[in-house]
């Protein structure tokens, strides 16, 4: 049988107080002992038990529940912030984080043996990078955020037409020959596109 003094010392930060007849019956611990009598200790505030009979566990459970509720509220606030963010439909930040993790793993390798030991986690990270990059490309394609070769050509054509119109207007006002200037700009632009395919 465990001595009640040892139990009392093991109850973390709660002090055991004895119930007396001067105290209200409502303040007494409601635990029923093996002998059929009620516990002779005062119950903790807001709990009907003393530290010996579970008040510390009940308080810890309530504290954990409060902490969980607080964290859930924090997460809900963060979820709301992210849901309202302009760039929520982009995965570029996630790609950057994964690539930084890959770089960090490689940076911690001092030789080829370390690199071999890290090959499993590195493979996993690289597969995740590939998956997120693919998802990002699909998402951006669906949203129309990707400039494919045809869209670049269309933009270049529209841009050249605007320049040609302005150069022609300028040359008419100032009596200049605009055709050679427009041709030179067009050739430079086409050369740039060829070099940066």
**What per-residue confidence (pLDDT) applies to 3?**
44
**What per-residue confidence (pLDDT) applies to 88?**
57
Task: Calculate mean pLDDT across residues 5-14.
Answer: 45
Task: Calculate mean pLDDT across residues 93-98.
Answer: 82
87's CB contacts (< 8 A; 6+ apart) are 93
Neighbours of 54 (CB within 10 A): 18
Q: Which residue has the higher pLDDT, 9 or 71?
A: 71
Residue 156's pLDDT band, with cuts at 50, 70 and 90, is confident
- Say yes or no to pLDDT of 11 above 50: no
pLDDT, tens digit (0-9, with 9 covering 90-100), for 52-70: 777 777 777 778 888 888 8
Helix locations, 53-111, DSSP H: 55-83, 92-107
- Say yes or no to pLDDT of 14 above 60: no
Cβ(152)–Cβ(160) below 8 Å: no
Task: Calculate mean pLDDT across residues 166-170.
Answer: 77
**What per-residue confidence (pLDDT) applies to 87?**
59
- Say yes or no to pLDDT of 84 above 70: no
**What per-residue confidence (pLDDT) applies to 6?**
41
Q: Tokens 């998802």 map to which residue?
A: 135
Burial of 12 (0-12, 13-18, 19+ CB in 10 A): exposed
Q: Which of 81-90, 116-125, 136-145, 181-190 has the lowest mean pLDDT?
A: 81-90
**What per-residue confidence (pLDDT) applies to 12?**
46
Q: Largest Cα–Cα distance of the chain, in whole Å?
A: 117
**What per-residue confidence (pLDDT) applies to 178?**
67
């Amino acid at each position: 049988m465990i001595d009640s003094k040892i139990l009392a010392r093991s109850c973390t930060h709660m002090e055991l107080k004895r119930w007396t007849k001067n105290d209200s019956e409502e303040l007494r611990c409601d635990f029923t002992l093996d002998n059929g009598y009620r516990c002779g200790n005062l119950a903790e505030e807001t709990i009907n038990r003393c530290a010996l009979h579970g008040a510390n566990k009940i308080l810890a459970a309530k504290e954990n529940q409060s902490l969980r509720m607080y964290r859930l509220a924090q997460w809900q606030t963060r979820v709301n912030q992210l849901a309202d963010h302009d760039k929520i439909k982009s995965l570029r930040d996630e790609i950057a984080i994964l690539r930084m993790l890959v770089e960090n793993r490689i940076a911690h390798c001092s030789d080829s043996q370390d690199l071999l030991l890290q090959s499993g986690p590195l493979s996993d990270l690289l597969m995740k990078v590939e998956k997120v990059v693919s998802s990002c490309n699909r998402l951006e394609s669906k949203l129309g955020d990707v400039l494919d070769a045809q869209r670049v050509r269309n933009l270049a054509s529209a841009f050249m037409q605007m320049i040609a119109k302005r150069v022609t207007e300028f040359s008419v006002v100032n009596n200049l020959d605009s055709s050679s200037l427009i041709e030179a700009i067009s050739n430079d632009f086409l050369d740039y596109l060829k070099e940066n395919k």
